[in-house]
A = this chain, B = another copy of it.
Amino acid sequence: MAREIPDATVARLPIYRRSLVELASTGAEMVSSAALADLAGVNAAKVRKDLSYLGTYGVRGVGYDVKFLLRQIGDALGLDIETPVVIVGMGNLGQALAHYGGFSSRGFPIVALVDASDAKVGEVVDGITISHIDDLAAIVDEHAIAVGIIATPAEAAQAVADALVAAGVRSILSFAPSVLHVPETVPLRKVDLATELQILGYYQQRESPAEGGNTDKSA
């Protein structure tokens, strides 16, 4: 199944995908690397190099078939099948994430919500009843959940990560401002909101000449 794709390229595939979805909705059938680069906010050479890791799908002198390319990227990202998600931590952020439609619409339906507080268990958010964290293993099993989102305070995050791994979740997205240790086999990504602002602070302060670092690479 295809070859090894560099991390930096993988991180850009979702952006190409988004651009292609947009293009497809305008009725475009073919797209050149230059046009796609423009939409995705990168340069054309990068687009060609990135796409070349997927395979030789372009047509010289013409460009890429939009629909075909969409399918190829979707396959590479494993979007051909739905990936059920559980959110752990139903504070402000967890609730917002539960309401956020962007996940389900992109193949990551939220099928369970979990919290450690008895006060929250039983409450219904966006049509889903909040369960207790102690039942995590059963819930993950029942819904065949593959991804866990951690939206707890920093102190609880490691224990939650351990519980998610033990329950059989295959990858984790954490919003907790802390370093997490998970087995090598479990892909982990972190988003720390306060950190993002602090990074901006650096560039702002020195009347920055360019984009603030590398969100490009990770989103």
Contact = CB atoms under 8 A, between A and B. Distances in A.
For this complex, into which size category does the number of interface residues on chain A fall?
35 or more
Interface in A57-109: 76-79, 83, 85, 92-93, 95-97, 99-100, 102-103, 105-108
A177 interface: yes
Interface in A169-219: 170-173, 177-181, 184-219
Contact of A194 (B93, B96, B108): B108
Given A102-B193, A146-B204, A10 B199 contact: yes
A8 B93 CA distance: 27
A24 interface: no
A18 interface: yes
Contact of A106 (B194, B216, B219): B194
10 contacts: A10-B213, A13-B199, A76-B202, A78-B202, A78-B205, A79-B198, A79-B201, A96-B97, A171-B208, A217-B218
